[in-house]
Amino acid sequence: MNKGNQLSKLLFLLEKHEKTLVEKAIACKKRLDEEFRKYHLLSSCMAEYREKLNATNQSIPSFTYQQYQIFFNQLEKAIAQQQDVVNRTRAVHLKWLKDIELVKKKSENILKLIQKEKQEIALRQDKKEMQEANDLFNRTKSQNSQK
């Protein structure tokens, strides 16, 4: 197998790998969007409950107040955990995007090598044809001078 065929095969495999990476990045982006939606839902819930509590402007029994505080603490923990999930998912998504860029650059470089190989083959072919033409000319000239 010549160098050009090997490079073409490698390019094909890289393009196939890139397609797989893109599919994974798209799935990860969907997951990121969903996790971000959950985070905003929890944050909105917290803001809404705090607003309702503040809007009552009535004194509430201490037991009820304690229950609200426990609820708010649990909700804050859930928000923090969801923020961590969002951050981890975002990091994974960014890694997929970086991997895609890396494969694209490799593909571009392989494509350049393929073009260079084609040019070298064409140049060798041109030199071979030129040499054959010179040899033919010299033989013809030699035959004519012998006559």
Instruction: For residue range 44-77, list pLDDT tens digits in order.
Output: 999 998 888 888 767 788 888 899 899 999 999 9
Q: What is the pLDDT of residue 147?
A: 64
Q: What is the pLDDT of residue 52?
A: 84
The Cα 61–Cα 114 span in angstroms is 79
Instruction: Tell the CATH topology of 3-111.
Output: Helix Hairpins (1.10.287)
Residue tagged 């969002």 (tokens):
86
- Predicted structure pTM score: 0.74
The residue ranges of every structural domain in the chain are 3-111
- In the predicted model, what is the mean pLDDT of the chain? 92
The Cα 44–Cα 75 span in angstroms is 11
Q: How far apart are the first and last CA of the chain?
A: 48
When pLDDT is averaged across residues 3-23 and rounded to a whole number, the result is: 92
Amino acid identity, residue 64? T
**How does pLDDT run across 68-101, given as a tens digit for each residue?**
899 999 999 999 999 999 999 999 999 999 999 9
